Structure 1
């Protein structure tokens, strides 16, 4: 189906910014709506910036999508266990390097090698079945971030074990949003927001305001509205994506240690200077839980988190956004 970019325009009048107009664009990409809001002097600049930004996201999707057989990341996975160092694009190397760094700092709570387990659960969810313990263990045996080696000299990657499959869904949208905003900035646009399915990257405040108004939830009844600029935000939770089996709801976020979807996670929101890091930490902290995440925060001093868990009707709420 051909996807169209939808454009809406509202004029913003302000003595200091009388020449800037607000533009909003939206396009379905990477399985989510990508919404771009920007302030530009005219239609031609706004449209050119938006089209280029969305083209950049589509290019990244061709590289990083594990749904596409010919994607670069799937071609890399296909060479796992060959003993070969595979040269990859700078984009793929950069996102894998960020992934490895966060994996090490969170003791594997985030793991881009979880592809075999993710594939297993996709199949199970479609069939409405729960994988056998043996099937889970077999999938887990092909994972482990320490089995992926990176060589920055020539952007090379080695996947040590046969059957490995990379999945960077836990930080891909944040990375794409960051890259899209870089494109927008290249057009001289200073105020812009990219919302990639809840992974948000913000630049300067909209003209005449104190920041972009962003509202986040604890997953139930508590809301918080903040004015933010020049930062990034990511939210993760099982509100829409989960598997229910025998009355138990399993999150789409899988614990790399057990190979099973999270049971007690409600919602995680992370604010960080970088969109890729915010996206990855939202997943990592969801997996790690409140106690361990507090320990890991020492590695991410510029980030803040709001993490909510529920177990046996007891809700634990760790909110650094207050």
Structure 2
């Protein structure tokens, strides 16, 4: 889990001063892991640290802090004795308040280290983690040591290109856009095919000749192809096989897979490369509703399964 600075800035722009509550450490059985966080403002919140009573009390304290211009603080919850939760562990939360000036002062290029008391200099384990991050690019894990807290800042590192802004494309963007590690590019043939509201972290690229821009995708991108046209889908598969990719999934059926295989073979692609293209996408056990397809695809994508990431459907 990482500090999502862009989401924080967007919340501050929308709501003014915002409190960020993050799980700094968790021992034993706990609802969420270190680094899980939520944002809280006077009339709402986003994200979750889990745990029902834990989240309710943490949000209450965060709003009190905002209302009273209170200081950032660290609070430890023994979940059973303090909150009556069945979890047998303990959670330590860090609560900080942000306005635009404070959020903009955070350096997005480096892990975020701050002090809530304790020694004047950062403990040696955190200093070593910082050196590894700066010198070798090794992202640190979220860790609280002697009231010093270190978090990595999230940077989108996994490119996902979604081809098509129809019902399934919109469902996929809705499901995947909140995941901060994903760098999503969304493409279709014209701007009016997209919804009016686009998530801030999604890059929209309308272009009439879709296949001609596939070469702009990183060669480690995951491609989800679900345009309104079988001919377009085929052109995109051909372009992807020519360019290179991490995975390609195509909406359709077993029959479509066979037809595409024959046509791609005629275009000169090797069978072992064509077999890397998965069609149909999603988990057929979930059904064919656009959000059901999106959930199946997203589950496989985020589970970190071996690529190709999208399970083949049953034969028709």
Q: TM-score, normalised by structure 2?
A: 0.22
- Relative contact order, CA 8 A, sep 6+: which one is greater? 1
- Structure with greater strand share of residues: 1
- Which one has the largest radius of gyration? 2
